């Protein structure tokens, strides 16, 4: 633990959003970043609780107190090493996770000023990319082949882990580009698609093969593999059986989001039905 009293003297400081006049001109990410000094100060606020509720609350089991301590001490490489032990893609979770860790942070429960865990996570991984701490790993192959169906977050994660254990992995997906919901569901202003592509390039360089525009029939799985991992996600939306549901112009969120994301990303399959929507309201 770096500074045992920092939580008493340093307040929570969020990076905040880009000014409105700037961000209405593009579809880019709206969240800003703190400078390194402020980021380290924010990490210093972690109290290294004896019972780290943040660690329990994190679906990945991230070891937040350990990497906050390394970050506070300016050991960015160590912080990334600890973070990447439990999190395959911190550049995604650091941007889009609802941060259950922060909801259970003792500084949230006691004074409503949790440690900026999610932002710190994003800062660590971006520093790792920037400083070259993330290198291409070439694992020794074990001769086994695995097909992963679905190139969303689950498919990418399982492919990454199997690849690092030496399996030869091929990912199949019906979409034009890998990422699933990361690419077609989450808008650019939360997660820029260049961030997704950057990770996909790394996975390719490490030996994972991507076969896109491939719709797989589960009764006829591609031949030549020792194992299959099905990671197609749940694409059936939950309907609302209420009066008026049958009216024209009511769409599920993903129908619109995927088209808008294709539009921002300039992919050919973009179907501009958004032009039908001069005015829209969202129910969520
Ligand atoms: S923000 Fe990171 S550490 Fe917190 S719950 Fe999400 S993945 Fe876990």
Both 127 and 151 in one domain: the answer is no
Claim to verify: residue 18 and residue 107 sit in the same structural domain:
yes
Average pLDDT over residues 213-236: 94
Regarding whether 24 and 78 lie in a shared domain, the answer is: yes
Nearest atom in ligand 1 to 102's CA:
4
pLDDT at 1: 64
- Chain mean pLDDT for the chain: 93
pLDDT value of position 259: 87
Pocket test for ligand 1, best of 83, 117, 122, 124 (most atoms within 8 A of CB): 117
Supply the pLDDT for residue 280. Answer: 73
Q: Is 49 found in the same domain as 120? A: yes
One domain for residues 123 and 150: no
**What's the length of the chain?**
284
3-state helix, strand, coil in the chain (%, to 5): 45, 5, 50
Residue 107: how many CA atoms within 13 Å on its side-chain side? Answer: 24
In this prediction, residue 205 has a pLDDT band, given cuts at 50, 70 and 90, of very high
**Cα angle 168, 181, 24; round to 5:** 135
Average pLDDT over residues 162-170: 98
Per residue in 148-157, pLDDT (tens digit) is 999 999 999 9
Q: What is the distance in A from the centroid of ligand 1 to the CA of 178? A: 23
The region of weakest confidence among 14-23, 40-49, 86-95, 268-277 is 268-277
Distance 165 CA to ligand 1 centre (A): 25
Mean of the pLDDT values across residues 195-223?
Answer: 97
List, in sequence order, the alpha helices (H) in the chain: 6-9, 20-23, 36-44, 53-57, 64-72, 76-86, 90-96, 100-104, 106-111, 117-131, 153-164, 181-184, 193-205, 253-265
Instruction: State whether residue 180 is helix, strand or coil.
Output: coil
The CATH number assigned to the domain holding 29 equals 1.10.1060.10
Residue 26 included in any domain? yes
Mean local confidence (pLDDT), 9-26: 96
The arithmetic mean of pLDDT across residues 61-71, rounded, is 97
Q: Measured in angstroms, how far is the CA atom of residue 127 from the centroid of ligand 1?
A: 18
Q: Which atom of ligand 1 is nearest to the CA of 64?
A: 3
| ipTM of this complex prediction, to 2 decimal places | 0.90
**Whose alpha carbon is nearest atom 8 of ligand 1?**
58
> Residue 3 has what pLDDT?
77
Q: In percent, how much of the chain has pLDDT > 90?
A: 82
**Residue-range definition of the domain harbouring residue 64:** 6-131
pLDDT at 267 over 80: no
CA distance 156 to 275: 33
Range 52-79 average pLDDT: 97
154 CA from centroid of ligand 1 (Å)? 16
With the most atoms of ligand 1 within 8 angstroms of its CB, the residue from 85, 93, 102, 103 to mutate is 93
CB atoms within 10 A of CB 226: 12
Is there a domain that residue 281 lies in? no
Distance 36 CA to ligand 1 centre (A): 20
Domain count, the chain: 2
Is-contact 227 146, C-beta < 8 A?
yes
**Distance, CA 209 to ligand 1 centroid (Å)?**
28
Alpha-carbon distance 209 to 75, whole Å? Answer: 34
Instruction: To the nearest 10°, report the CA torsion of 245, 249, 254, 255.
Output: 130
Helix (H, G, I), strand (E, B) or coil at 70: helix
- Residue 192's pLDDT is what? 95
Residue-wise burial string across 199-208, b where 16 or more C-beta atoms lie within 10 A, e elsewhere: bbebbeebbb
pLDDT band at 262 (very low <50, low <70, confident <90, very high): confident
Residue 172's φ and ψ, nearest 5 degrees, are: -110, 140
Across 133-156, average pLDDT: 97
Q: Is residue 57 part of a domain?
A: yes
Task: With residue 214 as reference, give the H or E element that holds it.
Answer: none
CATH no. for residue 171?
3.50.50.60
Over residues 101-111, the mean pLDDT reads 96
- DSSP letter for 275, please: G
Both tokens assigned to 9 = 């003297």
Ligand 1 pocket, Cβ-based, cut-off 6 angstroms: 58, 60, 62, 64, 93, 97, 99-101, 117-118, 121
């Amino acid at each position: 633990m770096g500074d045992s009293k920092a939580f008493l003297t340093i307040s929570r400081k969020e990076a905040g959003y880009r000014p409105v006049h700037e961000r209405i001109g593009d579809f880019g990410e709206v969240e800003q970043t703190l400078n390194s000094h402020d980021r380290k100060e924010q990490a210093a606020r972690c109290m290294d609780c004896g019972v780290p509720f943040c660690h329990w609350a994190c679906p990945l089991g991230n070891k937040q107190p350990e990497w906050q301590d390394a970050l506070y001490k300016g050991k960015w490489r160590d912080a990334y090493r600890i973070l990447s032990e439990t999190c395959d893609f911190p550049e995604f979770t650091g941007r889009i996770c609802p941060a259950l860790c922060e909801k259970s942070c003792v500084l949230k429960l006691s004074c409503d000023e949790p440690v900026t865990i999610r932002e710190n996570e994003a800062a660590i991984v971006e520093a790792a990319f920037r400083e070259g701490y993330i290198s291409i790993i070439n694992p020794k192959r074990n001769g086994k082949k695995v097909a992963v169906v679905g190139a969303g977050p689950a498919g990418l994660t399982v492919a990454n882990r199997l690849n690092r254990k030496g399996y030869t992995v091929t990912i199949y997906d019906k979409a034009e580009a890998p990422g699933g919901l990361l690419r077609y569901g989450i808008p650019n202003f939360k997660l820029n698609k260049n961030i997704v592509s950057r990770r996909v390039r790394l996975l390719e360089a490490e030996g994972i093969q991507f076969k896109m525009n491939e719709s797989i029939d589960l009764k006829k799985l591609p031949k030549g593999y020792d194992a299959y991992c099905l990671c197609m996600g749940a694409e059936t939306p939950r309907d609302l059986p209420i009066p008026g549901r049958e009216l024209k112009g009511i769409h599920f969120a993903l129908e619109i989001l995927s088209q808008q994301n294709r539009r921002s990303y300039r992919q050919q399959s973009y179907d501009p039905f958004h032009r039908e929507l001069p005015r829209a309201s969202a129910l969520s």
